[in-house]
Amino acid sequence: MRNVAIIMRRELASYFATPLAYVFILIFLVLANAFTFYLGGFFERGQADLAPFFNFHPWLYLFLIPAIAMRLWAEERKTGSIELLMTLPVTLWDAVIGKFLAAWAFAGLALALTFPLWITVNYLGDPDNGAILAAYVGSFLMAGGFLAIGSCMSALTRNQVIAFILGVVACFVFLLAGFPLVLDAVRAWAPQLLVDAIASLSFLTHFESISKGVIDVRDLLFFAMLIGFFLFATGVVLDARKAD
Amino acid sequence: MIKTEHLSKRYDALVAVDDVSFEVQPGEVLGFLGPNGAGKTTTMRMIAGFVTPSAGRASICGHDVQTEPLRAKACLGYLPEGAPSYGEMTVRSFLEFVADVRGLTGERKKSRLDYVIGRLQLEKVLEQTIETLSKGFRRRVGLAQAIVHDPPVMILDEPTDGLDPNQKHEVRTLINEMRRDKIIVISTHILEEVDAVCSRAIVIARGRIVADDTPQGLAARSRYHNAVSMRLEEPQQLEAARAALASLPSVAEVEVVEREARLTALPRGGAAILPALAELAARQGLKLKELHLESGRLDEVFRTITA
């Protein structure tokens, strides 16, 4: 546990040692607000809630989260610092979890910095703050899911651009798993059971209910298991390919 | 103690390291020599626990690297090839990170950090990010992180690569200071380094150990071992001198470097030929600028056994 915290702290500090953190947070906030006001029609709807804000999170994350995740392991392998990290007295899982938590905390910080919108709706009307909190939790969990997928893609390659593209594609598949775009490709050859299983993996479906303020244990479990699975996969990939 | 038993690494068809077994005891400084691509780095990576062996095992201080990796790694200070680190970190925060992971705390952490920073002369660059440093400084930061926890075993992959002669001398002095009661393994292809710091040398070629000896023992394998080299005052005496030397029964061969007016007489079967040659030179009236006994040329041995 101690090592996880040390690795997480180092990783988090390195985000802020480069312009990456500031550029990312700025772009995240600008896009989140632009989507809310222009595409979501925040004022025109005449309702004091944050639905137009949260509705766009999956799409925002689709590109922005792989941008954080791409460097997690690809950069370590490119610069060779993975050799240093893996020969320090830490376990592979300390490193995988520590780096993931740093990225997740960073995404959480960017998300938390959207709080002026929450203040705005409270100023304009009387929103259901419980539902808003639930939606924030859901959004944070979804960011974790995207990050875990991105972490695994980043472990596959030493090239950050490839890691980014793989990350976006993998996230896109998970995002739309319940929609014809993905399901039609599977339906042609897979048994119905598999089609249903894939459909149940859809981020959009799981996020939708949380973003409406309904916290279902199944949705929480879905994201928790997804994160666990992809972190495990990250470790397996790294163990096999760290020295390549 | 470092122990490797039948350590091997295969990548598909390529055999990088083939059945390497050796032991290193405290107090030894082992030089790991070999041409590029001979398997030095792969062997070191397997001992450090970064590369998983295809066969065989390695242990550090009695802890098997594969089954007790944390204990083995805790005993080890490792400088990977090329001294990789986190470029965006400052030297200070990087060394603190390593000290934290190594479990150093409080007064001990402070005193060890002060020691390595002072010893490797990093004071001036402490607040600089590592990516802005010169190659020499990066190497020294890499060395600093490898020794910060005062490990009983150190594996340093090319510790002096990229350093200028003064810095090389400093690093060798540091290694000589640390050698008591410790195990130090360094890889290098600078042969003078072997003479300067190593008590033992293992030569590896095509993944196999081809020699395991003291530097002196290795030099004794040279055909120049006990050879006598002389430089003449007057180059016109060169031919006569060559003929005279070649006529001695104990001399196997005479090599001439005309440009330097130098003759090197190689002994037959490693015999001591210096007295005979000195006497001959006096008898023939050769004017000598220089006369010395060679202990053997490591580079020649190196070429012979790794070719």
Q: Could you give phi then psi for residue B62, rounded to 5 degrees?
A: 85, -5
Task: Quick: pLDDT tens for B26-66.
Answer: 999 999 998 888 889 999 999 999 999 999 999 999 999 99
How distant is the Cα of A90 from the closest Cα of chain B, in angstroms?
Answer: 7
Say if A5 is an interface residue toward chain B (CB within 8 Å): no
Q: Could you give phi then psi for residue B181, rounded to 5 degrees?
A: 65, 5
Say if A192 is an interface residue toward chain B (CB within 8 Å): no
How distant is the Cα of A95 from the closest Cα of chain B, in angstroms?
Answer: 11
Residue B264 near residue B299 (C-beta atoms within 8 A)? no
Residue A225 above 90 pLDDT? yes
Task: Quick: pLDDT tens for A31-82.
Answer: 988 888 887 777 777 777 788 888 888 889 999 999 999 999 999 999 999 9
Using CA coordinates, name the residue in chain B closest to A80. B84
pLDDT score recorded for residue A154? 95
Task: Quick: pLDDT tens for A89-101.
Answer: 999 999 999 999 9
Taking CB atoms and an 8 Å limit, are B86 and A13 in contact across chains? no
Question: What CA–CA distance (Å, rounded) separates A206 from A194?
Answer: 18
- Plot region of B141 (φ>0 → left; ψ -120 to 50 → alpha; else → beta): alpha
Task: Quick: pLDDT tens for A160-212.
Answer: 999 999 999 999 988 888 777 777 877 778 788 888 888 788 888 888 888 77
Number of A–B residue contacts, CB under 8 Å: 66
Taking CB atoms and an 8 Å limit, are B101 and A89 in contact across chains? yes
Taking CB atoms and an 8 Å limit, are A10 and B76 in contact across chains? no
Residue B173 near residue B30 (C-beta atoms within 8 A)? no
Instruction: Give me chain B's average pLDDT, please.
Output: 90
More confident residue, B238 or B114: B114
Question: What CA–CA distance (Å, rounded) separates A184 from A158?
Answer: 33
Q: Could you give phi then psi for residue B264, rounded to 5 degrees?
A: -125, 120
DSSP code for B236: G
- Plot region of A100 (φ>0 → left; ψ -120 to 50 → alpha; else → beta): alpha
Q: How many domains does chain A have?
A: 1
Taking CB atoms and an 8 Å limit, are A10 and B84 in contact across chains? no
Kindly write down the DSSP assignment for every residue of B83-151, as one continuous string: ----TTSBHHHHHHHHHHHTT--HHHHHHHHHHHHHHTT-GGGTTSBGGGS-HHHHHHHHHHHHHTT--
Using CA coordinates, name the residue in chain B closest to A86. B50
Q: Which domain holds residue A37?
A: 2-240
pLDDT band at B272 (very low <50, low <70, confident <90, very high): confident
pLDDT band at A226 (very low <50, low <70, confident <90, very high): very high
Q: Could you tell me how far CA B151 lies from the centroid of its own chain?
A: 20
DSSP code for A36: I
Compute the CA torsion angle B119, B125, B128, B129 (nearest 10 deg): -40
Question: What CA–CA distance (Å, rounded) separates B15 from B12?
Answer: 8
Burial of B252 (0-12, 13-18, 19+ CB in 10 A): middle
Provide ipTM, 2 decimals: 0.89
pLDDT band at A215 (very low <50, low <70, confident <90, very high): confident
Task: Quick: pLDDT tens for B222-249.
Answer: 888 888 888 888 888 888 888 888 888 8
pLDDT score recorded for residue B222? 84
Average pLDDT over residues B241-267: 85
pLDDT score recorded for residue B123? 93
Question: What CA–CA distance (Å, rounded) separates B162 from B90?
Answer: 21
B253 beta partners? B266
**How are beta strands B208-213 and B200-205 bridged, if at all?**
antiparallel
Q: Which of A7, A17, A84 is the closest to B88 by Cβ?
A: A17
